[in-house]
């Protein structure tokens, strides 16, 4: 159980439980780490909804959002069992041409892809979150 160390004059130190509601409130007020530089803002609403619907293949969390999506080209070779993805447009966040090694567990084809490009969602710490192939690849 989560708790906090409390102390009163003349009393021994002990752990007092922190209400779960307080913990949930604090977690909800932490700002999101997603980036938004407007690169997908001119997309139709159905494309924006698609971005919001895509879930990670290895858990039930979102792949993040449009701001975390990068156009990539697949190298065609593997490196240590990982998929080699080359960032085509890093938008100043990553240099164009950056190689990203993507574990096969991050490949997500279940949601299709309404765009004519391979999309890689990259997390705030630079880790690959989801790799969405082009339809038919």
pLDDT of residue 9: 53
Better-predicted residue by pLDDT, 80 or 13? 80
Does the pLDDT of residue 66 top 70, yes or no? yes
pLDDT of residue 20: 53
Give me 124's structure tokens. Answer: 């705030």
Instruction: State the Cα–Cα distance between residues 11 and 26, nearest whole angstrom.
Output: 29
Instruction: State the Cα–Cα distance between residues 5 and 85, nearest whole angstrom.
Output: 48
Which of 14-18, 50-54, 62-66, 85-89 is the least confident region?
Answer: 14-18
pLDDT of residue 117: 92
Better-predicted residue by pLDDT, 100 or 8? 100
Taking all residues of the chain, what is their mean pLDDT, rounded to a whole number? 77
Q: What percent of the chain has pLDDT over 70?
A: 67
Does the pLDDT of residue 6 top 70, yes or no? no
* CB 54 within 8 Å of CB 63: yes
- pLDDT (tens digit, 9 = 90+) per residue, 41-59? 567 888 888 888 899 998 8
Instruction: Report all structural domains of the chain as residue ranges with CATH numbers, in order of start.
Output: 1-30 (no CATH), 45-132 (2.40.50)
Q: Read off the pLDDT band of 77 (50, 70, 90).
A: confident
């Amino acid at each position: 159980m989560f708790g906090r160390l409390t102390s009163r004059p003349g009393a021994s130190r002990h752990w007092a439980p922190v209400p779960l509601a307080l913990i949930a409130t604090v977690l909800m007020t932490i700002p999101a780490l997603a980036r938004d530089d407007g690169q997908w803002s001119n997309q139709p609403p159905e494309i924006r909804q698609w971005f919001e619907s895509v879930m990670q293949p290895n858990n039930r969390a979102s792949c993040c959002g449009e701001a975390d999506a990068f156009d990539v080209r697949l190298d065609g070779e593997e490196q240590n069992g990982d998929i080699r993805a080359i960032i085509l447009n890093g938008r100043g966040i990553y240099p164009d041409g950056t190689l990203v090694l993507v574990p096969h567990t991050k490949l997500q084809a279940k949601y299709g892809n309404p765009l004519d490009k391979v999309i890689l969602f990259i997390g705030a710490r630079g880790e690959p979150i989801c790799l969405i192939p082009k339809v038919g690849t």
